[in-house]
Structure 1
Amino acid sequence: MSAALYEHLPHLLSRLRETYPDIHPKLIEVSTNEQIAALTRNEIDIGFVHPPLGTDERLDVHGYPAEDLIAVLPDDRHTHGVTLTDIARHGLIMFPAAQGPALHARIMDTFTKAGLEVRIVQEAARALTMLSLVAAGFGAALLPRSTQRLVFQGVRYAAIADVSLPAWPLAVIAKRRPRPAIVDSVWKLLEARSDVS
């Protein structure tokens, strides 16, 4: 998941290299649903996903601290926070509902409860695509706070001043035991890391 790339994954991969230098992970960036399907088919061993998970698959799930959402707007040289009204005025660049139905619904519900009608002007599955669309002036986006580590010309990151939006959840998943010993070792490392994030 894009959300894992900016904060958790660099630390985890560094720790993995230190602890298990003979393991060479292969990373594939796909949606939560695609990861669950790949686990079922034994095509991947571990995934980073956005809960809640709509699956009957027997999985171990270990949550990471959820991240606050921030607004990403076309760069207008301002440095102040923004309101939901400001975001609604721009129109929203949003991830597809199928990619995270619960979070998508909660975000849209926040606008409704504030008495705002917000139009989704564009859907994008990846954060970098969303940033590109914002920079081109298509609308505003809501992304995890760690996204602001990316210096992206043409956008500005802003705290949302008037309301608390739902946090962006992140978890690591793997098939339940029994599983290969090396996968179990990596799983334990991931669990330990999430406790200190």
Structure 2
Amino acid sequence: MASLIQAIAVAEHLNFHHAAKALGTSQSSVSARIKALEDELGTPLFERNTRGVRLTEAGRYFVERVTAGVDHLENAVKSASLAASGESGRLRVGVHGLIAGSFLDRLLTRYREQYPAIALDMAEGSARDAITQLRARQLDVAFLVGTFELPDCHSRPIWTEPLVVALPSKHRLAGRVGVQWTDLAAETFLVRHGGTGPQVHDHIILRLARGWPPPAIHRFTVERGTLLSMVAQGFGITLLGAASQLSPTFGVALVPIIDEPDPVVFSAVWSPNNRGAALRNLLTLASKMRRTETTAGAE
């Protein structure tokens, strides 16, 4: 590599002395390396004379291609360095959904601002789908509802949200400041097969397990927006995180559940084999944002 770089320098300056000075080495070292390179190639690259040197036809051809190769190599080295520090590359993120202004939305926005050379690939799906994709190395990280203890994945709670119930705006409970679980026992709940649907289903069963008859829960293979439209039309009610209040749906009222003992936890889940700096930077930023917002909320 040193010989190639010195050959490029001599071709640029057409003078061994000037090339050596530009490279910070001796003229004799440059001359020796070029001579050894020519011997290895079996052809002269330069014609020497008292005024300096000039490229032979073989030398011109060689230097043109070596220059392009060295440029590519330098770019590769820089790219590898940036990737190693998490400054460039690609990050594949699984989400349960993305609401404008929510914690996750703000996190990804700030991450893209700080690391603009990282390409973010987004995939939406259920927790089960996301964990399968993590194990298959199709995702780098997934932000999911709940806490997880998986033998082959790392997880960390990132943020929380109060739980709210989505009601038709004309529902008898829609105008209340808050409701209790007993107020909802006779309602028909709507949940999705995908997204956060399985977790919502299990949570309803948990909270109303002692009641009789058991809660009516209907599952639908629809997107979140369609499910909320069904709520507005009076098909039933559903549960959401409080961030949904940032994106109101016409005909739907969101009311806090005041006797819900704990907020909804959202966790990051990733493979322990993924030690990429891009992922590490995202998790560090998430933890920093959580601490900052928790401190601000306490004040």
What is the TM-score normalised by the length of structure 2? Answer: 0.56
Aligned equivalents of 1:98, 1:16: Cα separation in 2: 24
More helix by share: 2
CA pair 3-98 structure 1, distance change in 2 beyond 3 A: closer
Cα displacement (A) at 1:143: 0.9
Q: What is the CA RMSD across the aligned residues, in angstroms?
A: 2.9
Identity %: 24
CA pair 100-176 structure 1, distance change in 2 beyond 3 A: farther
1:130 aligned partner, one-letter code:
L
Aligned residues of 1:33 and 1:99 also touching (Cα < 8 A): no
Q: Secondary structure at the match of 1:172?
A: strand
Counterpart check, 1:194 vs 2:290: yes
Within 5 Å, give how 1:33-182 maps onto structure 2.
33-53=128-148, 55-57=150-152, 59-76=153-170, 78-80=174-176, 81-96=178-193, 104-113=201-210, 117-123=214-220, 126-161=223-258, 163-164=259-260, 166-177=262-273, 179-182=275-278
Gaps of 5+ in 1: none
CA pair 16-143 structure 1, distance change in 2 beyond 3 A: same
Which protein is bigger by CA-based radius of gyration?
Answer: 2
Aligned equivalents of 1:4, 1:66: Cα separation in 2: 15
Aligned equivalents of 1:35, 1:65: Cα separation in 2: 18
Greater shift in the superposed pair: 18-27 or 103-112: 103-112
Aligned residues, how many? Answer: 195
Cα displacement string for residues 135-186 of structure 1 (whole angstroms, at most 9, x for unaligned residues): 121001111111111121111111235x326532211122225522323222
CA pair 48-150 structure 1, distance change in 2 beyond 3 A: same
Higher RCO (CA-CA < 8 Å; seq separation 6+) = 1
Aligned equivalents of 1:24, 1:98: Cα separation in 2: 23
1:88 aligned partner, one-letter code:
A
